[in-house]
Structure 1
């Protein structure tokens, strides 16, 4: 797809992403959906209101009435779409820096659109083909109240509130000034936790930290946990569809580790897990231990959603899916990422651990070594030469390559992946093993092979 990437459309606001482009995307979506009503929502970014206005105008221009939800977490939009049976245009750039913005499209089932529907919408934009209304049938706009209230109520009802409350947990929450600020602290209080907050004021400039919830951005949260009696820290990205954790000592818990721990708690023999091709050995081992299948997709939430839907149609149970960046799906709840729900499921793990701290709960999944390297290239011709060298290397390797997205070699106890970046002129190399030397060696050997193509 030319416009839609693995998780919608994103770019620097008012440069790549313009009101005119958002208007066209909204018109195309409204045309393809052929819906009477469509919701429009946004995260806290400073350009969110102007793009939400453009989206509402585009939808009204093709005859859709517009429900304006305002600033709400992405999962709250999903809950509204499912309950009201309307699709939505969501203005968000997720974890990207504050100068970015973007568009996600959500169906009337509360789930991001599948690849085939996105392709139909993209084709309308590229061909400039829309079903414009006339002045008599243009859509009208209605502000909608209570969206966050309804989301909080349904989430609290969906987890073991009594067990979490009985565990008497103190939780530090870092919404990163994003949309989670209006929901997550409240959710964990309603689950019976004592809640501390940091970076919890909605602010599209993200003054306290960068929006992406990775270890180097969570110093303030780590300090709050380490200097208080908090049992765990929970951090979100800008639109609140991801959650990562800090243990009782203020130490960052890798997203692959928490994903594996939560998967291990809900898998049964015969189940399947859907993840991206850069999946951690942690999850590979958990699936093997539970006699569950592991299905790999190209990187990105859209691809994971599409494959999970296919497995459901085939009658395969998929209790958990996602990526090791904090974006975990629990499809029986909803086939979308929900940062606050992910956090609540992790609190259920702690509640079931009979007082064991986070560091002990995740310890069985933490002893792995991950390596990532980048090989830069100057132009498309050089990229193709580097990838050709990588292909020659994997074809002679003592492992069957997975070509879902680049080339992944699985060795049972370790793996290595090489793939082109979707956003930068770089070839990405990933390797992982419980043995640090083995992971370093796999990455180095792949890099040497790739660079031989220069």
Structure 2
């Protein structure tokens, strides 16, 4: 697809992503939705400063093709998906997830509450590129209806889906860092109603993200680590801008690798014969759990759309997929809902804290070091030059090569993956090894080849 990447469409506002473009995306999506029999569409956004402007554009585009709009306001993406499933209506979510403040985007959700599968996205993209919009006469345009109950309903659904008594009996103190994003409106309430004591940082909704950038990576979470230490919290929880991800800090104020948290959650879920789905940058931590549980691991290109599509295929074939996701904090529990949900994931992690501390859980999946680096580019020519250098370097390495998404080289003790970002002008380099020096060595080798190319 030319427009929709692994998680919708994103760009820098008023450069790559304009109000006019968002309106056309909404017109294309609404045209497909109406053909499918849906003339009512939910519309939500995260806290970004440009969100209200782009929501207005999207609402106008939807109305022009005859769609009535349920205005949800600021809400986590999983809460928008829950509303879509509950009401049986498709949805548009205006969000750029973890991207910097200048970015925004649009994510498309089906009437089942699940991100649109690639086949449907391609139909929307075809209408967008050819401008085949099903515009209606003036007296058939859609209206807009504010809807206020979605946050409360979402919190209640999460509460009902976890072991509320087990978490409450543990007497946990949870330090929350919603990163000024949409989770600010729901996660503090959720964990208080789970019986936890809650302390917060960066919990004021603010689309300029003054406390930290939206991506919940270790370098952005110094405030949360400090809060955990000063309040003796049992766990720190950080979200991205639309709260579909959760990253953790242990009771000592130490960052827990997302891959380790995912492995711990998978270890609690997987049974012999089960399948889990992850992306091609999967950690050996998950591979180890899958082997221990006599389960199966399926790999896809990076991005939640690809993972969701594969889960749907496996379930349709009669497979059991109790957990799936990526090591960036985006975890899915398909038996609950086929969507990434940061608050639900954090609540499920809290269930594990009844028997042991967060640091003990993380230690069970230690022994690997991860290094990630990015190389930026300015033009499409630079991008192609970098990718050409990657391919040449990878194919000349005489090491087993996986090209599911980018180029992954697997060694006996380590692996390295290079791929273009689907949402930013970056080439991403990932490496994992038993020791940090080896991972750094792999990244430096690939990075050197790329820098030489430009």
TM-score normalised by L of structure 2:
0.94
Given the alignment of the two structures, is residue 13 of structure 1 paired with residue 13 of structure 2, yes or no? yes
Query: Counterpart of 2:131?
Result: 128
Query: Counterpart of 1:162?
Result: 165
Query: Counterpart of 2:371?
Result: 371
The offset of 1:424, in angstroms, is 5.9
Residues 1:426 and 1:211: Cα distance change in structure 2 (over 3 Å): closer
Query: Is the 2:390–2:407 Cα contact (8 Å) retained in structure 1?
Result: no
Given the alignment of the two structures, is residue 419 of structure 1 paired with residue 422 of structure 2, yes or no? no
Distance 2:372 2:181 in 1: 28
Residues 1:168 and 1:252: Cα distance change in structure 2 (over 3 Å): same
Residues 1:391 and 1:253: Cα distance change in structure 2 (over 3 Å): closer
Query: Counterpart of 1:72?
Result: 75
Distance 2:198 2:384 in 1: 53
Given the alignment of the two structures, is residue 149 of structure 1 paired with residue 152 of structure 2, yes or no? yes
Residues 1:410 and 1:387: Cα distance change in structure 2 (over 3 Å): closer
Given the alignment of the two structures, is residue 24 of structure 1 paired with residue 24 of structure 2, yes or no? yes
| Higher mean displacement: 8-17 or 260-269 | 8-17
Residues 1:448 and 1:143: Cα distance change in structure 2 (over 3 Å): closer
Distance 1:201 1:307 in 2: 36
Query: Counterpart of 1:203?
Result: 206
Residues 1:270 and 1:53: Cα distance change in structure 2 (over 3 Å): same
Distance 2:241 2:427 in 1: 27
Query: Counterpart of 1:342?
Result: 345
**Which blocks of at least 5 consecutive residues in structure 2 are unaligned?**
none
- SS at structure 1 position matched to 2:353: helix
Given the alignment of the two structures, is residue 40 of structure 1 paired with residue 43 of structure 2, yes or no? yes
Query: Counterpart of 1:406?
Result: 406
Given the alignment of the two structures, is residue 266 of structure 1 paired with residue 302 of structure 2, yes or no? no
Query: Is the 2:282–2:326 Cα contact (8 Å) retained in structure 1?
Result: yes
Distance 2:5 2:387 in 1: 21
Distance 1:375 1:66 in 2: 40
The offset of 1:387, in angstroms, is 3.2
- SS at structure 2 position matched to 1:108: coil
**Residues 391-429 of structure 1: CA distance to partner in whole angstroms, max 9, x if unpaired?**
4225x22x3x22201222334543222334445666543
Indicate the RMSD between aligned Cα atoms, in angstroms: 2.0
The offset of 1:295, in angstroms, is 1.0
Residues 1:412 and 1:328: Cα distance change in structure 2 (over 3 Å): farther
Query: What are the equivalent positions in structure 2 for 1:25-424 lying under 5 Å apart?
Result: 25-34=25-34, 35-351=38-354, 353=355, 356-373=356-373, 379=382, 382-394=385-397, 396-397=398-399, 399=400, 401-411=401-411, 413-422=413-422
| Higher mean displacement: 208-217 or 422-431 | 422-431
**Residues 124-165 of structure 1: CA distance to partner in whole angstroms, max 9, x if unpaired?**
111010111112211111111210110011100000001000
**Residues 42-62 of structure 1: CA distance to partner in whole angstroms, max 9, x if unpaired?**
111111111111111111111
Distance 2:230 2:280 in 1: 38
Residues 1:450 and 1:100: Cα distance change in structure 2 (over 3 Å): closer
The offset of 1:97, in angstroms, is 1.6
Distance 1:216 1:338 in 2: 22
- SS at structure 2 position matched to 1:379: helix
**Residues 166-212 of structure 1: CA distance to partner in whole angstroms, max 9, x if unpaired?**
10101111111111011000000111111111111111111111111
The offset of 1:12, in angstroms, is 1.4
| Higher mean displacement: 246-255 or 415-424 | 415-424
The offset of 1:373, in angstroms, is 4.6
The offset of 1:385, in angstroms, is 3.6
**Residues 206-265 of structure 1: CA distance to partner in whole angstroms, max 9, x if unpaired?**
111111111111111111110112111111111110111111111111111111111111
TM-score normalised by L of structure 1:
0.94
The offset of 1:448, in angstroms, is 6.5
| Higher mean displacement: 265-274 or 379-388 | 379-388
